[in-house]
Amino acid sequence: MKGKQRLGEPGYYITWYGINEQPSDGFGVVHISKELKCKYLHWSGSDDWYTLMWSCAPTKKQIRESITNIESEMNRFIYFESHEDLVKYKHLTYQPTAFRKSPLEI
């Protein structure tokens, strides 16, 4: 359980690799549940939510580094506390499956 404490806050994350620009396409979506279980939608588009090993999920350190290091290409994250917040993301139509809640919330 100690390793899971490294995970980012429970919620939804838009994820991509690049510089600090918000993506309009080519991004994934990760959900971390309150029980610290993880699901994801692949960056190339997914028709369903898939299980993500917690060791591959965004960590607090990665999230912090993506905020402070704005000039390097690296994993980037946009955090949404809830699914209701996620669906307001203006480019979410690129990942239409994300309009359905993660199975961890159902």
Nearest to 28 by CA among 41, 11, 46, 47: 41
Nearest to 21 by CA among 68, 80, 71: 71
Domain limits for position 73: 3-14+22-105
Q: What is the layout of strands, in order, in the sheet containing 28-32?
A: 50-51, 38-41, 28-32, 11-18, 74-80
Alpha helices, DSSP H, located in the chain: 60-68, 83-86
Mean pLDDT (whole number) for 13-29: 91
Does 14 score more than 90 pLDDT? Answer: yes
Work out the angle at residue 93's Cα, subtended by the Cα atoms of residues 83 and 72, and round it to the nearest 5 degrees: 85
Six-digit token string for 29: 């979506």
CB 74 within 8 A of CB 21: no
The domain total for the chain is 1
Res. 1 pLDDT band, cuts 50 70 90: low
Identify the H or E element spanning 1: none
CB 61 within 8 A of CB 6: yes
**41-99 pLDDT, tens per residue?**
999 889 999 999 999 999 999 999 999 998 899 999 999 999 999 999 999 999 999 99
